[in-house]
């Protein structure tokens, strides 16, 4: 028999001699390995949701902290136990009274199957900060954006309806509110007349609400006025050239369209008083000063003078 034949017979004997005994030994070794590894204690990290019962609106209490959505739990157990572990039921927090200031997370709060232990919970505790909910009236402010058409200006301040809104929320946030801003009112290229828009209020601070979302705003646009002052103008006493006035001179202020004001001069104004035919008999008389000027508003200072004959 060749050497190759001898080698084959030896290998055949190694494989097939006492075959059932060898198979049994292999099965026993695999089972023992699985038993040892299956009973070995291991750790895993899982996320457990949080569910909280919050105070009803009527309680007027507000939680200033933001609760986490879940806690992280490190659990220990055998691989078989942890492999069979499904989602852990949420942790339920009763905060309905609005007075709990600290929550300590304990393993007893978790619904874990037998043999599985909670080794660590993160965070281990929550510090809660509560505030009373209050309401307060706050003024609305509207800002103007842009410029009216050439030759026009905004007349007065915007009229806001309502001017006051009610803010409701945690005391510290509401008491610091000085104004409630609305969206800007654009006056770009507007001409004379009344212009009305509904403007949205700016978003309130966190945890604060307003009793309305918008306000109505009215803006008046008028023609731009030119103004001029003419000082120390002599007053003429019509019909009595020798009469004198006290004071002897007055000031005239005019306002109107820029074109109308620019067309005026001191020589064109001519302040005067017009005594009656029998005024001289009285010796003196208090008369209203007259000034004529087209297309302008006239203010005379003083409006009356004392005429002495």
Confidence of residue 7 (pLDDT cuts 50, 70, 90): low
Q: How confident is the model at residue 127, as a pLDDT?
A: 96
What's the rounded mean pLDDT across residues 188-192? 94
**Range with the lowest mean pLDDT among 9-18, 119-128, 148-157, 171-180?**
9-18
Q: Start-end ranges of CATH 2.170.120.40 in the chain?
A: 132-223
DSSP 182: B
- In whole angstroms, give the CA distance from residue 6 to residue 27: 31
Least confident span in 79-88, 189-198, 217-226:
79-88
Task: State pTM to two decimals.
Answer: 0.59
Share of the chain above pLDDT 90, in %: 69
**Pairwise CA distance, residues 235 & 305, whole Å:** 9
- Per-residue DSSP letter, 43: E
Report pLDDT digits (tens) over 23-71: 565 555 545 455 545 567 899 999 999 999 999 988 999 999 999 999 9
Residue 2 banded pLDDT, cuts 50, 70, 90: low
Residues in the chain, overall count: 309
* Region 279-289 average pLDDT: 86
Tell me the H-state helices in the chain. Answer: 3-16, 19-38, 79-83, 171-175, 258-262, 266-269
Is a pLDDT exceeding 60 seen at residue 242?
Answer: yes
CA gap 115, 44 in Å, rounded: 14
Neighbours of 26 (CB within 10 A): 10
Assign domain 132-223 to its CATH superfamily: YbbR-like domain (2.170.120.40)
Dump pLDDT digits (tens) for 262-276: 899 999 999 999 998
CATH class of 41-128: mainly beta
Domain with CATH 2.170.120.30 in the chain: 41-128, 226-308
* Residue range 226-308, CATH number: 2.170.120.30
Cβ 76 vs Cβ 115: under 8 Å: no
């Amino acid at each position: 028999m060749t050497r190759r034949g001898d080698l084959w017979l030896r290998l055949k004997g190694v494989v097939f001699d006492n075959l059932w005994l060898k198979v049994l030994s292999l099965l026993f070794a695999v089972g023992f390995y699985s038993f040892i590894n299956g009973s070995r204690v291991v750790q895993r990290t899982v996320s457990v949701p949080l569910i909280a019962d919050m105070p009803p609106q009527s309680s007027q209490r507000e939680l200033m902290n933001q609760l986490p959505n879940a806690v992280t739990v490190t659990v220990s157990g055998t691989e078989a136990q942890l492999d069979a572990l499904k989602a852990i039921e949420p942790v339920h927090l009763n905060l309905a009274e609005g007075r709990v200031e600290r929550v300590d997370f304990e393993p007893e709060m978790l619904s874990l199957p037998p043999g599985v232990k909670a080794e660590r919970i993160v965070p281990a505790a929550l510090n809660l900060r509560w505030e009373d909910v209050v309401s307060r009236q706050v003024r609305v402010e509207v800002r103007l954006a842009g410029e009216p058409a050439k030759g026009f200006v905004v007349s007065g301040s915007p009229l806001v309806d309502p001017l006051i809104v009610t803010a409701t929320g945690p005391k510290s946030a509401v008491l610091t509110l000085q104004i409630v801003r609305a969206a800007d009112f654009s006056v770009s290229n507007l001409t004379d007349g009344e212009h009305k828009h509904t403007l949205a209020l700016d978003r309130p601070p966190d945890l604060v609400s307003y009793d309305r979302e918008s306000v109505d705003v009215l803006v008046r646009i008028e023609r731009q006025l030119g103004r001029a002052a003419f000082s120390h103008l002599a007053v003429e006493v019509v019909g009595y050239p020798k009469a004198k006035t006290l004071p002897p001179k007055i000031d005239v202020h005019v306002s109107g369209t820029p074109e109308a004001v620019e067309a005026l001069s001191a020589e064109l104004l001519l302040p005067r008083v017009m005594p009656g035919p029998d005024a001289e008999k009285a010796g003196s008389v208090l008369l209203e000063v007259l000034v004529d000027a087209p297309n302008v508003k006239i203010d005379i200072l003083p409006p009356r003078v004392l005429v002495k004959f």
